[in-house]
Structure formats: C-alpha cells, structure tokens
Amino acid sequence: MSVDVNSERGRMVAVYRRFAASYAGGGSPEYERIALGVAQDERLLDLVVGLPAGNKRQPNLLLGAVRFLGGPTDSFEGFAGWVVEHWEQVRGVVLERMTQTNEVRRCATLLPVLASLEGPLALVEVGASAGLCLYPDRYRYSYDGGAPIGAVESPVLLECATRGAVPVPERVPRVVWRAGVDLNPLDAGSEADVRWLESLVWPGHTRQARVERLRAAASVAAAEPPLLVRGNLLEALPGLVAQAPRDATLVVFHSAVAAYLSVQERERLEQMMGGLPGHWVCNEGGRVFPHWEGVRAPEPTDFTLAVDGRVVAYTGEHGQSLTWR
C-alpha cells in the first residue's frame, strides 16, 4: 500500500507503526502484530480516520474497546474481521471511553518517598483514574522478595525490585485523608468501569498478575471510596487542596499523567506545585520538565520520580522496579 504521509491515513499509519514498536518494547507481541496489521489495512485505516481526530484514534483505545466487547486480539485476521463486522459497537465504546490505565503497583515505587515524609498524610492525586494509587496504606509490599510490610490483611501484595540505596520503609505511612481529580473519574465499585480498566491491560506475560492486582485493589477502593472530582487538574486542584485537613502533611502526586498535558499545561502544573502548602511527588515518563534535561533513566521505558522538583529515583513504568539515584 502506498502511503501519503501528509494524508490523515498516512498519519495513522505512522501512529500505528510507532505504537507497534512500543507494544514490542512493552512485551506484547500480540498487540504489536495487530498495530502493524492495522497500519497496512486500508479498511481499518479508513474506519480509524472516521473517528474524531486526536486521542480517539489511538491504538490503545481501539484495542481496549475490542477487548471490552469480547472481540479477538490473538490474530490480526481475526481482529480485523471482527472489527469491521462490529464497527458501530466498537465506535460507541471508543467515543464513550478514554485510556486511563490505573496501575496500583506504582504505589510500591511511591511508598519509600511517602513514608519518608512526616505524617499523618493528606493525599491528593491528580489524574487519579479510579483512585487505586490513593491507598498506599492499605496494601502490602515486598521489596526484592523480602518479608512483606504494610496492611497485614490486604488482598493486594505489591512486589518491587530495587537497585541502589532505596530507603525501604519498615511500615506504611498513616493516611488520614485522600482525594483525587480526573477528567473522567472511574468508579472502583462499578463492574463496567473495572472491566474497562482490565481491558486496557495489554496482553503478554504480565497481564494475568496485573489484572489480579487491579481487581484486588478495586475491592479495597470500593470498600472505602475516595473523594474523586471530575475536572481538569489545573482547575480542580486548588479546591481540593483547600479541603485537605490542616493538621496533616499535604502530598499532591501524579503518575503517568503528564503525557496527556500540553507543554503549557505542564508549565502551569509546575508553577502551581511551587506554591503548594505541602509536597509534590511526580512519577512520570520521558523528559516531562525542561530542568530534567540530562536526567537519564536506566531503561528507556522507566519513569522519573521527583520530590518537590528534585529527581530522586527511576521507576519501572508499572511499578515493578525502583532504582534510587
């Protein structure tokens, strides 16, 4: 197929090829094959181009929608035929939903930082999805296979490999208040929302463990739902900060959110955090802030973890590892 790179279709070919590389890097050959297949299939490219421009055309959303509806993703041929036949349903889910993977294991990489702050803590997560990372005190943790610490009865065990002088805590911090904001908050008590989060977990060797953790963490959040507000983080944050109890240490944190923000929005976020009556914990991929120039994570997919603007560690994108700087 000849591709005009300046056409809408040509741009989608590039997007799906780029994603194929990241699926390959992320250990999901199944999605890699499908993304490469879409990039060569005129029928599918035309369907994707018929979606509203921007986030609605991204591969993660299309693949998540197909999984959510029970469609096949084990071969490109099966996937393509099914998508063409069920396009109206797929389109409906794509238009209704957003990609908002909630990875609870990231708490394992945040814990050493949170536990080092004077408690008790009042947590605010911006870009919280279903808020599963708002419960660091309700999970158990094992670093490098060591004896678990944390909430003894918790159904969630978060395992993490460390490198360098990670200050592994002996106990989890006391959290007295938790709140979050999201453009589209998900409800950990809703079967459909949890199934959507499951559908966003890529196939591959880590999928089953990730889905089990997700389900267990959702049961924790559903038992004690957090205050989650709908809105743009830049607008909603001051209101949430004002509601936080004064006699607790405020911590505003975010992970895997900056990619959704424009450069100008990131600058505004950084300015807001500078004036915060508390701490700012940032766990993000890539070079999100200009002053991170020169900061190089050990693995290309690693996130950078910064406290009050200072880089302290690199973290596995799904919380599987923590490399202290």
Ligand X SMILES: C[S@@+](CC[C@H](N)C(=O)[O-])C[C@H]1O[C@@H](n2cnc3c(N)ncnc32)[C@H](O)[C@@H]1O
CA distance 308 to 106: 18
The residue from 101, 142, 206, 301 that contacts ligand X (CB under 6 A) is 101
Question: Should residue 127 be labelled a site residue for ligand X when binding is judged by CB under 6 A?
Answer: yes
Is 101 or 206 the residue whose CB approaches ligand X more closely? 101
Largest CA-CA distance found in the chain, in angstroms, rounded: 64
Question: Should residue 97 be labelled a site residue for ligand X when binding is judged by CB under 6 A?
Answer: no
CA distance 308 to 320: 23
The residue from 28, 60, 109, 129 that contacts ligand X (CB under 6 A) is 129
Helix (H) or strand (E) holding 107: helix 106-116
Name the token pair of 252: 């505003």
The residue from 39, 90, 122, 257 that contacts ligand X (CB under 6 A) is 257
Question: Should residue 182 be labelled a site residue for ligand X when binding is judged by CB under 6 A?
Answer: yes
Contact 258, 266 (CB under 8 A): yes
Is 106 or 279 the residue whose CB approaches ligand X more closely? 106
Question: Should residue 55 be labelled a site residue for ligand X when binding is judged by CB under 6 A?
Answer: no
**Residue with structure tokens 């989890």?**
172
Stretch that binds ligand X, among 8-16, 134-142, 181-189, 294-302 (CB under 6 A): 181-189
The dihedral over CA atoms of 82, 83, 88, 89, expressed in degrees to the nearest 10, equals 70
CB of 146 to ligand X, least distance (A): 24
Query: Site size for ligand X, by CB under 6 A?
Result: 21
**Residue with structure tokens 């596995």?**
316
CB of 110 to ligand X, least distance (A): 9
Question: Should residue 323 be labelled a site residue for ligand X when binding is judged by CB under 6 A?
Answer: no
**Binding positions for ligand X, 194-233, rule CB under 6 A:** 232-233
Question: Should residue 179 be labelled a site residue for ligand X when binding is judged by CB under 6 A?
Answer: no
Is 177 or 260 the residue whose CB approaches ligand X more closely? 260
CB of 250 to ligand X, least distance (A): 18
CA distance 43 to 80: 9
The residue from 47, 62, 179, 181 that contacts ligand X (CB under 6 A) is 181
Helix (H) or strand (E) holding 230: strand 227-230
Is 45 or 288 the residue whose CB approaches ligand X more closely? 288
The residue from 256, 288, 305, 312 that contacts ligand X (CB under 6 A) is 256
The dihedral over CA atoms of 190, 196, 199, 201, expressed in degrees to the nearest 10, equals -80
Question: Should residue 116 be labelled a site residue for ligand X when binding is judged by CB under 6 A?
Answer: no
Q: Is 90 helix (H, G, I), strand (E, B) or coil?
A: helix
CB of 269 to ligand X, least distance (A): 9
Is 47 or 320 the residue whose CB approaches ligand X more closely? 320
Q: What Å distances lie between residue 230 and 240, 267, 275, CA to CA? A: 11, 22, 23
Question: Should residue 255 be labelled a site residue for ligand X when binding is judged by CB under 6 A?
Answer: yes
The residue from 87, 260, 292, 324 that contacts ligand X (CB under 6 A) is 260
Question: Should residue 315 be labelled a site residue for ligand X when binding is judged by CB under 6 A?
Answer: no
Question: Should residue 98 be labelled a site residue for ligand X when binding is judged by CB under 6 A?
Answer: yes
Question: 41-50: long-range contacts at Cβ-Cβ below 8 A with a sequence spacing of 24 or more?
Answer: 41/80, 42/1, 42/9, 43/80, 43/84, 44/80, 44/83, 44/84, 45/9, 45/12, 45/13, 46/9, 47/83, 47/84, 47/87, 47/91, 48/12, 49/8, 49/9, 49/12
| Binding interface with ligand X (CB under 6 A) | 98, 100-103, 106, 127-129, 133, 181-184, 232-233, 255-257, 260-261
